[in-house]
Amino acid sequence: MHAAVLEKYGRFEWKQVERPEIADNEALIKVTYAGICGSDQHIFKGEFHPRSPVPFIPGHEFAGTIAETGPEVKNFHTGDIVAVDPIIWCGKCPACQRKHYPACTSLKLLGVDMNGGFGEYINVPESMLYRIDPSIPARHAALVEVLSIGFHACSRAKVQTGDTVVIWGAGKVGQSILQAVRTKTMNTVILVDILDKRLDLAKKHFPDIFTINAGKVKPVDRIKEITNGKGADIAFEAVGHFSEIPGVVNPVRGCIQSIRGAGTVCVLGLGDEPVPLLMKELIWKEAVILTSRVSHGEFAETIKNLEKGTLKPDALVTDILDPADIQHGFEMLEEEPENHLKILLKFA
């Protein structure tokens, strides 16, 4: 089979590799589509070293068709269409004992800590499979993982019907949160970014949201204006790093300033820089600040919403590439972030 192998940091090669063998409890998945994630961009640049040593096959957002099953696989059969939950937790650490798996101290992901779905075939334990109705387009099945990040963030922040929500960051994660939020509340949703093209893309698919370009307008002032001075019930931070725009607060502090008294801030951005906060801004509001990492249990909710047609998965996808062009895909994401959101690789 062929796979996109990250030969060294910054260099993919589409090459012949050995087709994986399956264990008794595993299925062999023929990959149809796989998505390139922001984490993959970090892996590509070597920023996840030593978690992701090269050479290896990344890819943790993917779906496919079962080509073969091991003798212990009970509930799935050859020909089933499946999305794969890439998360492997230990089951023993204090977080796992509380069933809080995304916080597992030795959390591992397919395609991050071991070979993943950027190949024509992959072996996956039955426990990580979710069946997808054949009526759902294959490219949408590959988006279940990233959409579940949005649903998980919503469940962490307890988004309720009628909530007013601000999302800082209109990248892949921010727009996945937007999709999930819109299944929960039809009240005001505000999206903040500095790239007009990303804001326009979201607005095209969700015309009733407000968008703010933080490079042009003071976002907190504008959020106050839109919410009649009250502030939002919930603010999500999905910018991904401490980004300094002259005269504008950093995104986490911006979230704190955006919410009402007793509101909630949910932080998802994974930056390496410390972020200065003025804690009394949080304390005066007696607000909750919490975090959201991967997903847990939201695959079923995402798939149900895909079946009901309540999501707009194509709004996330800007490009569909042949996997042989993967190097080009990563370079496009680095060089023109304003033009590309989710890139899907079409394997079959």
Contact residues: Zn ion, CB under 5 A: 37, 39, 89-90, 93, 96, 104
Strand 288-291 with 259-267, pairing = parallel
Smallest distance from the beta carbon of 111 to Zn ion, in angstroms? 8
Based on CB atoms, which residue is closest to Zn ion, 219 or 269?
A: 269
| Residue entry with tokens 């024509």 | 120
| Residue whose CB is less far from Zn ion, 144 or 289 | 144
Query: At its nearest, how many Å lie between Zn ion and the CB of residue 289?
Result: 23
Report the nearest approach of Zn ion to the CB of residue 54 (Å): 19
Minimal distance in Å, beta carbon 190 to Zn ion? 24
SS3 72: coil
Cβ partners under 8 Å of residue 240, min gap 6: 38, 169, 171, 173, 269, 270, 271
Residue (42 or 184) nearer to Zn ion, CB: 42
Beta bridge partners of 62: 34
- Least distance (Å) from Zn ion to the CB of residue 77? 28
φ/ψ of 33, rounded to 5, equals -135, 150
> Three-class SS of residue 177?
helix
Closest CA to 158 of 231, 227, 234: 234
Query: Measured from the CB atom, is 89 or 118 closer to Zn ion?
Result: 89
State residue 272 phi and psi, 5-degree precision. Answer: -95, -10
SS3 (DSSP) at 162: coil
Is 250 or 302 the residue whose CB approaches Zn ion more closely?
302
CB atoms within 10 A of CB 228: 9
Question: In angstroms, rounded to a whole number, what is the distance separating the alpha carbons of residues 107 and 272?
Answer: 19
Nearer to Zn ion, 35 or 323 (CB): 35
Side chain identity at residue 45, one-letter code? K
Q: How far is the CB of 35 from Zn ion (least distance, A)?
A: 8
